[in-house]
Structure 1
C-alpha cells in the first residue's frame, strides 16, 4: 500500500466528480425545462430556436395589427351596410311621392331626416381615427395599407406584406368608394354627380352636396317637381344604393381575408412553438428518472470514496 498516493481514493473521487457534474446538468434541465438553454448546449438548435422565437414575437405583433385592421374594416363595412338600408327607405319615399294627392312637403321632411342620418353614418363610421366613408382632403385618396402577414425568406430577410384597399376610385363617375365627399363632392357616392351623368338625366342629381365642394342639383321634393324628375331621382338613388352594396361587398371580402389570416397566424404561432419545443425542451419524465439515478450513484460514490480512504485509517490504527 502507498501512503502518499491512494490510487483507489483518486479513482473514486474522479467517478464522484463525473457523477456530480452529470447530476448538476440534469438538475439544470429539470429546473429550466430545456435541454438546450444556451448556445453551449447545442449551437445549431439554439440558433434556430432563438430565431423562431423572434419570429413568433413578430407574428404576435402581426396578430395585434390584424385585430386593428379588422376593427377598421368592420366599422367601414357596417357603415356602408347601414347606408344601403337608409337609401332603400329613401327610394321608397320617392316612389310614394309619385302618387297623386300625397303631401310632398311632408315626404321631403322625411327625406331630409334620412339625409341627416346618412351624414351621421359617414361621420361616425370611424375606428382608431380611420374613417373610410368620408373624404375631407386630397390626402384621403391615398390607398389604405393594412398589415397582412410576416414572412422570413431563405436568405433570412424579413418581409411584412400588406392588404391594400384602393379607396380613391375615379372622381366624377359611379366608380367611387367614399360615401360622402366634403372636399370636392365628386368622389362621394351621395355627393357626386357621376351617377346622374352616366344615366343621362336632365339634371346633375345628388343626394346632397358636400360641405366644401359641389354645387349640383340636390334631390328635393317640391310642389313643382315633375313626375319625370322623380323618376330620374329614383334611378339615381337606386344606382347609389347599388354602389354602396358593391363597396360593402369589397370591404366584406377584405374583412373575411383578415379573419382567415388571423386564424392562420394563430395556427402558425402554435406550430412554431410546438416545433421549437421539440428541439429544445427537455423530457421531464426521463430527466427526473435520470436525476434519481445520478443521486443514487452520487451516494454510492461517496461510500466508495469512504471505503478507499479506510485503508489509511487501518494503517494508522496499527501505529497506535
Structure 2
C-alpha cells in the first residue's frame, strides 16, 4: 500500500544517509590507515596513543644524547689506541738509542715527531665540540625511564674527567712534552711504561662507558618497537577488513538508490490514476 500523505521513500532515504556515512568513515580509514585518526573518532584511545607517541619522541631525544656521548667515548678510545702505538715506537727508539751509547740529533728529531703526532691525535679526538681526553669536567649521561606510575629506573654512566695533557697528569706530561736529545735516556723507558699503563686505564673506562651506552640504546630501540606496536593496536585500521566492508557498503548503497527510485516511481504511478 502506498500513501500519498506519508512518503514511502523516507525509510529508503534514512537508510541511504546511514550507508553514506558508514561509507565515508570506511573510505577515510583506508585512505589514512587509521581507525582512530583524531579525538573525534575515540577520545580515550586517541589520548592514550598521543601519550605513547610523546614518550617515544622524548626517548628519541634521549637516544640522540646517548649516541653523542658514546661517539665521544669511542673517539677518545680510538685516539688512545693510536697513542699507545706511538708510545711503543717511542720506547723502541729510546731503547735503541741507549743501546747505541746515546741519542743522536736524528733520534731527537724522530722523538719530537712522535710526540707531536700523539698530541695531534689527542687534540683531534673531539665529537660535537667535546673531547673526553682534554675535558676538565665529568661526562655524565643519565637515562630516566618511567616504567610505572611513581616508579622510575635510572641508568647513569659517567667518564671521570682526565685531561691527559694537563700538568697534573705526570705520566703523560713527562713523555708528551718537548724531549731533547739529553732526555732520551734509560729512565725515559720507565716513564713511557707508566704512560702506557695510564692509557690502558683510561681506555678501559671509555670502553666500559661505550658498552653501557650501547646497552641503553638497545633498550630504547626495543622499547620504541613495543610503543609502535601498542600505537598500531590502538589506532591502525585493519585494511583487509575495511576493504571488505567497503565492498559491502557499496552494494548496499546501490540497493538503497534502487529502493529510493522504486519508491519515487510508485508515487508517480498513483498520481497517474487521477489524470
TM-score by length of 1: 0.76
TM-superposed deviation, 1:232? 3.3
Aligned to 1:97, the other structure's residue is in SS state: helix
TM-superposed deviation, 1:231? 4.1
Task: Determine if contact 1:189/1:244 at 8 Å carries over to the other structure.
Answer: no
What is the aligned partner in structure 2 of residue 2 from structure 1? 3
TM-superposed deviation, 1:100? 4.8
Give me the whole-angstrom Cα distance separating, in 2, the residues matched to 1:105 and 1:15: 102
Which of 248, 264, 268 aligns to 2:223? It is 268
Give me the whole-angstrom Cα distance separating, in 1, the residues matched to 2:171 and 2:5: 103
Aligned to 1:129, the other structure's residue is in SS state: coil
Give 1:55-74 correspondences, 5 Å limit. Answer: 55-74=55-74
Give 1:118-137 correspondences, 5 Å limit. Answer: 118-134=118-134
Q: Which runs of 5 or more residues in structure 1 are unaligned?
A: 135-139, 168-176, 192-205, 210-217
**Residues 62-112 of structure 1 deviation map (CA, whole Å, 9 limit, x = unaligned):** 333333223212221111111111111112222223325454444333222
Which of 169, 185, 196 aligns to 1:187? It is 169
Give me the whole-angstrom Cα distance separating, in 2, the residues matched to 1:116 and 1:309: 98
Give me the whole-angstrom Cα distance separating, in 2, the residues matched to 1:207 and 1:131: 20
Q: Kindly tell me: are residues 24 and 156 of structure 1, through their superposed partners in 2, closer, same or farther at Cα, counting changes over 3 Å? A: farther
Q: Kindly tell me: are residues 295 and 90 of structure 1, through their superposed partners in 2, closer, same or farther at Cα, counting changes over 3 Å? A: same
Q: Which runs of 5 or more residues in structure 2 are unaligned?
A: none
TM-superposed deviation, 1:248? 1.0
Across the aligned residues of Structure 1 and Structure 2, the Cα RMSD in angstroms comes to 2.7
Task: Determine if contact 1:63/1:265 at 8 Å carries over to the other structure.
Answer: yes
Give 1:190-269 correspondences, 5 Å limit. Answer: 190-191=172-173, 206-208=174-176, 220-222=180-182, 230-269=185-224
Give 1:1-320 correspondences, 5 Å limit. Answer: 1-6=2-7, 8-134=8-134, 140-146=135-141, 149=143, 151-155=145-149, 162-167=156-161, 177-181=162-166, 185-187=167-169, 189-191=171-173, 206-208=174-176, 220-222=180-182, 230-320=185-275
Pick 1 or 2: higher relative contact order, CA cutoff 8 A, min separation 6: 2
What is the aligned partner in structure 2 of residue 197 from structure 1? none
Task: Determine if contact 2:133/2:164 at 8 Å carries over to the other structure.
Answer: yes
Q: Kindly tell me: are residues 159 and 43 of structure 1, through their superposed partners in 2, closer, same or farther at Cα, counting changes over 3 Å? A: farther
Q: Kindly tell me: are residues 234 and 101 of structure 1, through their superposed partners in 2, closer, same or farther at Cα, counting changes over 3 Å? A: closer
Q: Kindly tell me: are residues 317 and 156 of structure 1, through their superposed partners in 2, closer, same or farther at Cα, counting changes over 3 Å? A: farther
Task: Determine if contact 1:26/1:287 at 8 Å carries over to the other structure.
Answer: yes
Aligned to 2:98, the other structure's residue is in SS state: coil
Aligned to 1:13, the other structure's residue is in SS state: helix
TM-superposed deviation, 1:162? 4.9
TM-score by length of 2: 0.87
**Residues 247-267 of structure 1 deviation map (CA, whole Å, 9 limit, x = unaligned):** 112111222232333333333
